[in-house]
Protein backbone atom coordinates (compact mmCIF):
# COMPACT_ATOMS: atom_id res chain seq x y z
CA UNK A 1 0.00 0.00 0.00
CA UNK A 2 2.82 2.39 0.78
CA UNK A 3 4.29 1.89 -2.68
CA UNK A 4 0.96 2.80 -4.33
CA UNK A 5 0.66 5.89 -2.10
CA UNK A 6 4.20 6.94 -3.01
CA UNK A 7 3.48 6.55 -6.73
CA UNK A 8 0.24 8.48 -6.30
CA UNK A 9 2.01 11.30 -4.41
CA UNK A 10 4.77 11.51 -7.02
CA UNK A 11 2.16 11.59 -9.81
CA UNK A 12 0.22 14.34 -8.03
CA UNK A 13 3.43 16.31 -7.47
CA UNK A 14 4.31 16.08 -11.17
CA UNK A 15 0.80 17.15 -12.21
CA UNK A 16 0.89 20.12 -9.81
CA UNK A 17 4.31 21.17 -11.16
CA UNK A 18 3.07 21.00 -14.75
CA UNK A 19 -0.02 23.04 -13.84
CA UNK A 20 2.12 25.69 -12.11
CA UNK A 21 4.37 25.97 -15.16
CA UNK A 22 1.36 26.29 -17.48
CA UNK A 23 -0.17 28.98 -15.27
CA UNK A 24 3.09 30.95 -15.20
CA UNK A 25 3.44 30.74 -18.96
CA UNK A 26 -0.15 31.85 -19.51
CA UNK A 27 0.36 34.89 -17.26
CA UNK A 28 3.08 36.28 -19.50
CA UNK A 29 1.59 39.03 -21.64
CA UNK A 30 2.86 40.42 -24.88
CA UNK A 31 4.85 43.61 -24.50
CA UNK A 32 3.31 45.04 -27.68
CA UNK A 33 -0.30 44.44 -28.68
CA UNK A 34 -0.48 44.67 -32.43
CA UNK A 35 -3.02 44.23 -35.13
CA UNK A 36 -1.07 41.66 -37.06
CA UNK A 37 -2.12 40.48 -40.45
CA UNK A 38 -0.36 37.28 -41.38
CA UNK A 39 0.98 37.40 -44.90
CA UNK A 40 3.41 35.32 -46.91
CA UNK A 41 4.21 37.83 -49.64
CA UNK A 42 4.46 41.58 -49.85
CA UNK A 43 2.31 41.94 -52.92
CA UNK A 44 -1.13 40.48 -53.52
CA UNK A 45 -1.94 38.01 -56.23
CA UNK A 46 -3.12 39.75 -59.36
CA UNK A 47 -6.53 38.07 -58.84
CA UNK A 48 -6.89 39.89 -55.50
CA UNK A 49 -6.47 43.39 -56.87
CA UNK A 50 -5.20 45.18 -59.92
CA UNK A 51 -6.15 48.58 -58.58
CA UNK A 52 -3.26 50.82 -57.63
CA UNK A 53 -2.81 54.03 -55.70
CA UNK A 54 -0.16 56.70 -55.82
CA UNK A 55 2.07 57.19 -52.79
CA UNK A 56 4.90 59.58 -52.00
CA UNK A 57 8.33 58.28 -51.01
CA UNK A 58 11.00 60.64 -49.68
CA UNK A 59 14.70 60.70 -50.64
CA UNK A 60 17.55 63.15 -49.91
CA UNK A 61 19.55 65.09 -52.47
CA UNK A 62 23.15 66.22 -52.66
CA UNK A 63 22.05 69.86 -52.47
CA UNK A 64 20.80 70.05 -48.87
CA UNK A 65 19.59 68.08 -45.85
CA UNK A 66 15.95 67.88 -46.94
CA UNK A 67 13.81 65.02 -48.19
CA UNK A 68 12.39 65.22 -51.70
CA UNK A 69 9.19 63.50 -52.80
CA UNK A 70 8.97 60.88 -55.51
CA UNK A 71 5.62 59.50 -56.64
CA UNK A 72 5.25 55.71 -56.84
CA UNK A 73 2.36 53.33 -57.38
CA UNK A 74 1.49 50.49 -55.03
CA UNK A 75 -1.28 47.89 -55.06
CA UNK A 76 -4.38 49.09 -53.27
CA UNK A 77 -4.88 46.11 -50.98
CA UNK A 78 -7.44 46.03 -48.17
CA UNK A 79 -4.55 45.51 -45.76
CA UNK A 80 -2.83 48.60 -44.32
CA UNK A 81 0.18 46.45 -43.44
CA UNK A 82 0.50 45.20 -47.03
CA UNK A 83 0.38 48.77 -48.35
CA UNK A 84 2.94 49.94 -45.77
CA UNK A 85 5.26 47.07 -46.77
CA UNK A 86 5.07 48.16 -50.39
CA UNK A 87 6.06 51.73 -49.40
CA UNK A 88 9.08 50.48 -47.44
CA UNK A 89 10.12 48.21 -50.34
CA UNK A 90 9.96 51.20 -52.69
CA UNK A 91 12.16 53.13 -50.24
CA UNK A 92 14.68 50.27 -50.20
CA UNK A 93 14.68 50.13 -54.03
CA UNK A 94 15.99 53.67 -54.01
CA UNK A 95 15.27 56.82 -55.98
CA UNK A 96 14.23 56.98 -59.63
CA UNK A 97 15.15 60.65 -60.04
CA UNK A 98 18.36 62.51 -59.22
CA UNK A 99 18.04 61.83 -55.50
CA UNK A 100 20.17 59.73 -53.16
CA UNK A 101 19.25 56.41 -51.58
CA UNK A 102 18.42 56.51 -47.88
CA UNK A 103 18.84 52.82 -47.06
CA UNK A 104 21.44 50.28 -48.19
CA UNK A 105 19.97 48.37 -51.16
CA UNK A 106 20.74 45.04 -49.46
CA UNK A 107 18.44 45.92 -46.55
CA UNK A 108 15.54 43.52 -46.15
CA UNK A 109 12.17 44.28 -44.65
CA UNK A 110 11.48 41.50 -42.16
CA UNK A 111 8.02 42.50 -40.92
CA UNK A 112 5.69 45.34 -40.06
CA UNK A 113 3.34 45.49 -37.09
CA UNK A 114 0.88 48.29 -36.38
CA UNK A 115 -0.59 48.81 -32.92
CA UNK A 116 -4.07 50.12 -32.20
CA UNK A 117 -2.61 53.46 -31.08
CA UNK A 118 -1.04 54.02 -34.53
CA UNK A 119 2.55 52.98 -33.81
CA UNK A 120 4.14 51.09 -36.71
CA UNK A 121 6.98 48.72 -35.80
CA UNK A 122 9.24 48.25 -38.82
CA UNK A 123 11.65 45.33 -38.51
CA UNK A 124 14.69 45.54 -40.81
CA UNK A 125 17.57 43.14 -41.42
CA UNK A 126 21.02 43.89 -39.99
CA UNK A 127 22.22 45.33 -43.31
CA UNK A 128 20.44 48.58 -42.47
CA UNK A 129 23.16 49.39 -39.96
CA UNK A 130 26.05 47.21 -41.19
CA UNK A 131 26.13 48.97 -44.56
CA UNK A 132 24.86 52.39 -43.49
CA UNK A 133 27.30 55.21 -44.37
CA UNK A 134 27.10 56.62 -40.83
CA UNK A 135 27.13 60.16 -39.50
CA UNK A 136 24.37 61.86 -37.55
CA UNK A 137 22.94 63.69 -40.58
CA UNK A 138 22.78 60.49 -42.66
CA UNK A 139 21.07 58.70 -39.78
CA UNK A 140 18.48 61.47 -39.38
CA UNK A 141 17.75 61.42 -43.11
CA UNK A 142 17.41 57.61 -43.19
CA UNK A 143 15.13 57.54 -40.16
CA UNK A 144 12.85 60.34 -41.34
CA UNK A 145 12.69 59.02 -44.90
CA UNK A 146 11.12 55.90 -43.34
CA UNK A 147 8.95 57.76 -40.82
CA UNK A 148 7.73 60.48 -43.18
CA UNK A 149 7.07 58.06 -46.07
CA UNK A 150 4.77 55.99 -43.84
CA UNK A 151 3.01 58.74 -41.88
CA UNK A 152 2.55 60.96 -44.95
CA UNK A 153 0.77 58.22 -46.91
CA UNK A 154 -1.15 56.55 -44.08
CA UNK A 155 -2.89 58.83 -41.55
CA UNK A 156 -3.56 55.75 -39.40
CA UNK A 157 0.19 55.57 -38.69
CA UNK A 158 1.14 58.23 -36.14
CA UNK A 159 4.63 57.06 -35.05
CA UNK A 160 7.27 54.63 -36.26
CA UNK A 161 9.53 52.41 -34.15
CA UNK A 162 12.51 50.94 -35.98
CA UNK A 163 13.59 47.41 -35.04
CA UNK A 164 16.59 45.50 -36.35
CA UNK A 165 16.48 41.70 -36.53
CA UNK A 166 13.39 41.78 -34.31
CA UNK A 167 15.05 43.76 -31.52
CA UNK A 168 15.42 47.35 -30.37
CA UNK A 169 18.87 48.69 -31.23
CA UNK A 170 20.26 51.71 -29.44
CA UNK A 171 21.32 53.54 -32.61
CA UNK A 172 21.40 53.05 -36.34
CA UNK A 173 25.11 53.78 -36.56
CA UNK A 174 26.15 55.37 -33.29
CA UNK A 175 24.23 58.66 -33.25
CA UNK A 176 20.42 58.73 -33.14
CA UNK A 177 18.51 56.94 -30.34
CA UNK A 178 16.31 54.21 -31.83
CA UNK A 179 14.78 52.99 -28.57
CA UNK A 180 11.67 55.18 -28.88
CA UNK A 181 9.13 55.66 -31.67
CA UNK A 182 9.61 58.62 -34.01
CA UNK A 183 6.85 61.08 -34.88
CA UNK A 184 6.94 62.59 -38.38
CA UNK A 185 9.00 65.67 -39.13
CA UNK A 186 7.37 67.11 -42.21
CA UNK A 187 9.57 70.22 -41.87
CA UNK A 188 12.34 68.06 -43.39
CA UNK A 189 10.35 67.73 -46.62
CA UNK A 190 11.39 70.04 -49.44
CA UNK A 191 8.93 71.54 -51.88
CA UNK A 192 7.84 69.44 -54.83
CA UNK A 193 10.50 71.05 -57.01
CA UNK A 194 13.49 69.02 -58.08
CA UNK A 195 16.74 70.00 -56.30
Domain assignment of residue 138, yes or no: yes
What distance in Å separates the CA atoms of residue 44 and residue 121, rounded to the nearest whole number?
21
C-alpha distance from residue 65 to each of 7, 14, 91, 138 (Å) = 75, 64, 17, 9
Domain assignment of residue 74, yes or no: yes
- Tell whether 95 and 15 lie within a shared domain: no
| 154-167: average pLDDT | 93
Domain hosting residue 48, numbered range = 34-188
pLDDT tens, position by position, 121-141: 999 998 887 777 667 788 888
- Tell whether 108 and 155 lie within a shared domain: yes
- Tell whether 116 and 44 lie within a shared domain: yes
Residue 173 confidence class, pLDDT cut points 50, 70, 90: low
- Tell whether 86 and 149 lie within a shared domain: yes
Task: Give the number of domains in the chain.
Answer: 2
The count of C-alpha atoms lying within 13 angstroms of the C-alpha of 4, restricted to the half-sphere facing its C-beta, is: 1
pLDDT at 103 over 80: yes
- Tell whether 91 and 1 lie within a shared domain: no
pLDDT tens, position by position, 44-77: 444 456 799 999 999 998 888 899 999 999 999 9
pTM tops 0.85, yes or no: no
3-class SS shares of the chain: helix, strand, coil, % to 5? 35, 25, 45
182 or 4, higher pLDDT: 182
Domain assignment of residue 193, yes or no: no
- The alpha carbon of 106 is separated from its chain's Cα centroid by a whole number of angstroms, namely 16
Amino acid sequence: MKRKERILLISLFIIVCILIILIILSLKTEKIKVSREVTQTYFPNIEETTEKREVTIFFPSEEDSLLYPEAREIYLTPSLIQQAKQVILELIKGPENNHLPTLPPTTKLREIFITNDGTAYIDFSKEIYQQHPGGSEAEIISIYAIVNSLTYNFPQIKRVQILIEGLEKETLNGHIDLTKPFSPRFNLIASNKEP
